[in-house]
Amino acid sequence: MTQKNKDKSRITRQDSLEHHRIIPGIIPFLVKILLPLLILGAGITGAAYIQKNTSKPRRRPPAQMTRLVNIEPVRRTDEQVVIQAMGTVEPARELVLRSKVSGEVISAHPEFTEGGFLEAGEEILKINPKDYELTVTQMKSRVAEASYQMKMEMGQQDIAKREWELLNGKSNDKDADKELATRKPHLEKARAELRSAKAEMEQARLNLSRTRITAPFNAVVRTKEAEIGSQVSSGEQLSELTGTDEYRIRVSVPVDRLKWITIPRKAGEPGSQAVVKHHDSTYQREGTVIRLLSDLDTEAHMARLLISVKDPLGLEKTDTGEPPLLLGEYVSVEIKGKKLTDVIRIPRTALRDNDKIWVAGQDGTLIIRQVRTIWRDNNSVFLKNGLENGEQLILSDLSAPVNGMSVQVADSPKSGKIQKRDEHDE
């Protein structure tokens, strides 16, 4: 074999060996690629076959739902606006009782103690009057002396006039000379001394009367600063008194509510009536709006009113069994405002989204109406329009309400069947 044939045979063997090495590497690669494709194709083909040969279910239209609702027939009436407020009880009259004269306290009223009740004009304390009685006696003597001196001077003046006329006749001399000669200045001095003596006697009598310290009005004693035997001086504090005929309640209300309240501009004019509830609203008393204060509450920026309550301690009617109002007590107040005519009152819970109501129509459908309120309080809303007499206001809550949806009044004869159908549908 020639050299050329040997080289050719060697090349052929090398190519065969390389071919055998490449084939085992290609087969695993093809298996990894083709096998997932075959599986995916088989799945798609199977799904298409199932979808094509499976019968489609018939779609049933949704059942018409009828909601059971509670209703309230409405009617037009005349209503009273009531403004709710809270306030604090405070005295209408109070004073600090002080002595106007000095001396020893020799007697005191049995009710002169903290919490004691005093009637107007009753003697509370008495200061020893002996010194003041002696002063009155002295002043009487002085008045008598001054009166005597004036009468004597009047007699002297008559004599001086006659002497002047005898000596000078009816000549027109200077007025100054004539006044001196006729003792006119002496008479004026005597009259002045008499007036001074009478004034001093009046002052002595006044000081004597001030030894009896009396109650200026019906009052309750809040503090007591003197006892029998105490030595008091002029201007010294003896007690603090609070009037029992009337208490006042200071309440705060929103400024926009003032237009509904009758507020007197002057004393004696009528104001809105009020009901004061105290002791956890167990008891109540009648009151009257008497004043609007000139400034706003600095914290809440609300208007402030004064409510007058007569006989707050129940001293005039002792058989009612009601506890008294206490100073500083925090109470609730219902102010009766102006009256509304021909309006519709609905529960506040029946007002939806602040300006809508639900009505059950005669055809059994829901009617959603937009309304305008003229008054609201904690429990009720007053409407001027949007409802008519006899219409059925829906009180029940409905989820996802739609105008025109089917509703059924709960107390109607068909309500039982509808309730069962609703339960079945659910």
pLDDT tens by residue, 355-410: 899 998 888 888 999 988 898 888 889 998 888 888 899 998 888 888 888 888 88
Taking each helix axis as running N to C, give the angle between helix 184-209 and helix 130-168, from 0 to 180 degrees, rounded to the nearest 10.
170
Query: Same fold for the domain at 68-75+351-425 and the one at 83-92+245-340?
Result: no
Report the C-alpha gap between 211 and 100 in whole angstroms.
Answer: 8
Architecture of domain 68-75+351-425: Beta Barrel (2.40)
Asked if 355 and 370 touch (Cβ cutoff 8 Å), the reply is yes
- The sign of the torsion formed by the CA atoms of 378, 380, 381, 384 equals negative
Predicted confidence at residue 227, as pLDDT, reads 92
Give the Cα-Cα-Cα angle 70, 74, 78 (nearest 5 degrees).
Answer: 145
Domain range list for the chain: 1-59, 68-75+351-425, 83-92+245-340
Predicted confidence at residue 88, as pLDDT, reads 94
| SS3 assignment for 306-361 | EEEEECCCCCCCCCCCCCCCCCCCEEEEEEEEEEEEEEEEEEHHHCECCCEEEEEC
Architecture of domain 83-92+245-340: Beta Barrel (2.40)
The pLDDT of residue 93 is above 80: yes
Predicted confidence at residue 425, as pLDDT, reads 36
Asked if 72 and 387 touch (Cβ cutoff 8 Å), the reply is no
218-228 average pLDDT score:
94
218-226 average pLDDT score:
94
Predicted confidence at residue 131, as pLDDT, reads 93
Report the C-alpha gap between 359 and 254 in whole angstroms.
Answer: 32
Q: Tell me: the pLDDT tens digits for 139-180?
A: 999 999 988 888 887 777 777 677 666 666 655 555 655 566
Amino acid letter, residue 53: N
Residue with the bigger pLDDT between 46 and 94: it is: 94
The pLDDT of residue 181 is above 90: no
Amino acid letter, residue 111: E
pTM of the full structure = 0.67
Q: What φ, ψ does residue 414 adopt, rounded to 5°?
A: -90, -5
Report the C-alpha gap between 422 and 406 in whole angstroms.
Answer: 12
Report the C-alpha gap between 293 and 306 in whole angstroms.
Answer: 8
- Strand (E) or helix (H) holding 103: strand 103-108
Report the C-alpha gap between 389 and 73 in whole angstroms.
Answer: 8
